[in-house]
Amino acid sequence: MAEAAAAAAPKPAVSFLKIPKDGAPYLEGVKCGACGEVFVGVDRTSCAACGARGKMETVKLADKGKLYNFTIVHRNFPGVPVPFVSAIVDLDGGGTLKGNLLDVNPVPDAIKFDMPVKVVIQDAGRKDKEGNSYLAYFFKPA
Amino acid sequence: MSDVYVVGVDMIKFGRFPDRTVPNIGAEAALMALDDCGLTIQDMQALYCGNLYESSAAVGQRVLREIGQTGIPVVNVANACATGATAFREGWMAIKAGVYDTVLCVGVEQMGKGLLGGGGGGGGISTEGLLGSGTMPSVFAHVGLEHSRKYGTTFEQFAKVSVKNHHHSTLNPKAMYQVETPLQEVMGAEMISYPNTKLMCSVNVDGSAAAVLMSEKKAKEKGLMSRAVRVRASAMASDPYTPRNFAMMDFNAVTRLAAKSAYEMAGLGPQDVNLVELHDCFATAELVHYENLGLCGEGKAGEFIDSGATTLGGKVPVNVSGGLLSKGHPLGATGIANIYEIATHLRGEAGARQVEGARIGLTHVVGAGSACAVHVLEKVS
């Protein structure tokens, strides 16, 4: 019974998506205590930006940001629904990550650089071979 | 320290050879490069072999099984799309250090068809198309649109790169494709990742290229100076930290670092370069590298392609070989194939696509991860 319950709980699609027992899921990063650089979800002890050792502190990443860059993907691997918008978002407070931008018309004119977006964490719509479901992060216009 | 010279260099016509092995394909270019300078495998003191997809399988030693197991040291190199150039550079460095006088450098790759990249992590679910796209056409679409964001570069300007390079390829019998593609055809081709259409993506092909490098003393002793090409600079870089590293692979800062080192080593600037073979894995990439290599001012790449400066006959022809877009991009071979192209022009042997009066040429490759290599070659005499 316990196994069935565990299998039913969604897993994170990436390691830096945290699902607390109580409370809303969020994205996690680390911040260098020496230079202040924020990194998305990396588990490391030294800073890639300044090389400082042992200064990394875990931080909760913002759920809002701005669209830095995008592409509209029309051809992908079999089974991946197209078109979709691959977006690169600068999160408020630091950290840049790539994800799908939802709720926009996938044509160049409909997508504006620097448009405000929010981070939404929801069902990934994909399951693994064992049938486990997953939570993933997405962007939506804010 | 002695200057290092390319005395023999060649490449096979790129294509698809599913019935051959990687070492067999590599051996063909190795023998062609040896023939180009009239030497044999017995004259070689070491082999530097670049290959990516069989990098754990002693490709260099297996090349020697095809052309002569002389017992020389073999170094196998894998370094993303800079693999071939890295092998070349290791050979250059060994001669520069005085360890050898004569070495052979081979780059070889056998590719499948289809999209590269986007594999995602092991276990769980694939994140491709879920958390954005990591395919190479998408990664380089992001590179291009970053330029659009900063400078307003248009889809049409990116597409012009393909028109130009495919035009150049019609003059290169060793290119995989030798077909003119007018602008409307490039822009109207199947959209892969906006703004890269299918005709703006490089071709996955099989191929090999090889070079024989020599110290000045040895080249003179062997009477090989008349067709020799001097390696004026060999530089590499890895990607320095940039704030968007996690989401966007860096191809710009890494290229700028390598180019700066190369120009400093050569004692030259971009204004001295007569032709360039740069890493046009996608049409979007070529434009950003105009600026990264200093060929035009910041933000001017769009105008630069519009002006015709980089077309054969222009101020600084770029990818006269047809580039990766039409010559093809066998990952491990590419870095040495573009050395071949530049050397051929400096020797005045490029036929219909000859850049007249070429004295200085530059090669550039940059691989995901990131690894960049820049070489500056000079005509002797």
Per-domain residue ranges of chain B: 4-113+203-379
Segment B93-110 mean pLDDT: 98
Contact B145 A77 (CB under 8 A): no
- Kindly write down the DSSP assignment for every residue of A23-54, as one continuous string: S--EEEEEEETTT--EEES---SB-TTT--BS
Please give the Cα distance from B102 to B94 (Å, whole number): 9
Report the pLDDT value the prediction gives residue B120, as an integer from 0 to 100: 54
- pTM score > 0.80 for this model? yes
Contact B102, B321 (CB under 8 A): no
Query: 3-state secondary structure string, B266-317?
Result: HCCCHHHCCEEECCCCEHHHHHHHHHHCCCCCCCCHHHHHHHCCCCCCCCCC
Segment B135-151 mean pLDDT: 98
Segment A4-10 mean pLDDT: 65
What is the distance in angstroms between the CA of the first residue and the CA of the last residue of chain A?
Answer: 41
Residue scoring higher pLDDT (B287 or A6): B287
Report the pLDDT value the prediction gives residue A7, as an integer from 0 to 100: 55
Q: What percent of chain A has pLDDT over 90?
A: 89
Report the pLDDT value the prediction gives residue B67, as an integer from 0 to 100: 97
**Tens-place pLDDT, residues A85-124:** 999 999 999 999 999 999 999 999 999 999 999 999 999 9
Residue of A nearest to B247 (CA): A97
User: Is A113's Cβ below 8 Å from some Cβ in B?
Assistant: yes
Confidence of residue B114 (pLDDT cuts 50, 70, 90): confident
Contact B132 A75 (CB under 8 A): no
Shortest distance, CA B130 to any CA of chain A (angstroms)? 6
Q: Please check the confidence at residue A1 and state whether its pLDDT lies above 50.
A: no
Residue B329: active-site member? yes
Q: Please check the confidence at residue B92 and state whether its pLDDT lies above 90.
A: yes
Residue of B nearest to A138 (CA): B131
The number of distinct structural domains making up chain A is 1
**Tens-place pLDDT, residues B316-359:** 999 999 999 999 999 999 999 999 999 999 999 999 999 999 99
Contact B129 A99 (CB under 8 A): no
Report the pLDDT value the prediction gives residue B116, as an integer from 0 to 100: 82
**Tens-place pLDDT, residues A61-78:** 999 999 999 999 999 999
Report the pLDDT value the prediction gives residue B123, as an integer from 0 to 100: 67
Q: From the candidates B147, B168, B329, B345, which is the catalytic residue?
A: B329
Nearest to A71 among B123, B125, B138 (CB): B138
Report the pLDDT value the prediction gives residue B353, as an integer from 0 to 100: 98
| Residues in chain A within 8 Å Cβ distance of B115 | 75-77
DSSP-derived pairing of the beta strands B102-109 and B47-50: parallel
Average confidence score pLDDT of chain B: 96
Report the pLDDT value the prediction gives residue B381, as an integer from 0 to 100: 74
Nearest to B191 among A48, A74, A124 (CB): A74
Report the pLDDT value the prediction gives residue A42, as an integer from 0 to 100: 76
ipTM rounded to 2 decimals? 0.92
Q: Which domain holds residue A111?
A: 2-141
Q: Please check the confidence at residue A2 and state whether its pLDDT lies above 60.
A: no
With H, G, I as helix, E, B as strand and everything else as coil, classify residue A3. Answer: helix
| Residues in chain B within 8 Å Cβ distance of A136 | 127, 130-131
**Tens-place pLDDT, residues B247-290:** 999 999 999 999 999 999 999 999 999 999 999 999 999 999 99
| Residues in chain A within 8 Å Cβ distance of B282 | none
Confidence of residue B1 (pLDDT cuts 50, 70, 90): low
Reported as half-sphere exposure (CB side, CA atoms, 13 A), residue B285 has a value of 28
User: Is A52's Cβ below 8 Å from some Cβ in B?
Assistant: no
Q: Count residue pairs from A and B with Cβ separation < 8 A.
A: 131
For B4-113+203-379, which CATH class? Answer: alpha beta
Nearest to B282 by CA among B373, B165, B133: B165
- Alpha helices (H) in chain B, listed in sequence order: 22-37, 59-67, 83-96, 136-151, 155-169, 183-188, 216-221, 252-266, 283-292, 301-307, 323-326, 331-346
Q: Please check the confidence at residue A55 and state whether its pLDDT lies above 80.
A: yes
Confidence of residue A53 (pLDDT cuts 50, 70, 90): very high
Q: Please check the confidence at residue B110 and state whether its pLDDT lies above 90.
A: yes
Report the pLDDT value the prediction gives residue B112, as an integer from 0 to 100: 77
Average confidence score pLDDT of chain A: 93
Contact B246 A100 (CB under 8 A): no
Going from the C-alpha of B283 to that of each of B112, B220, B302, B309, the distances in angstroms are 21, 41, 12, 16
**Tens-place pLDDT, residues B13-38:** 999 999 999 999 999 999 999 999 99
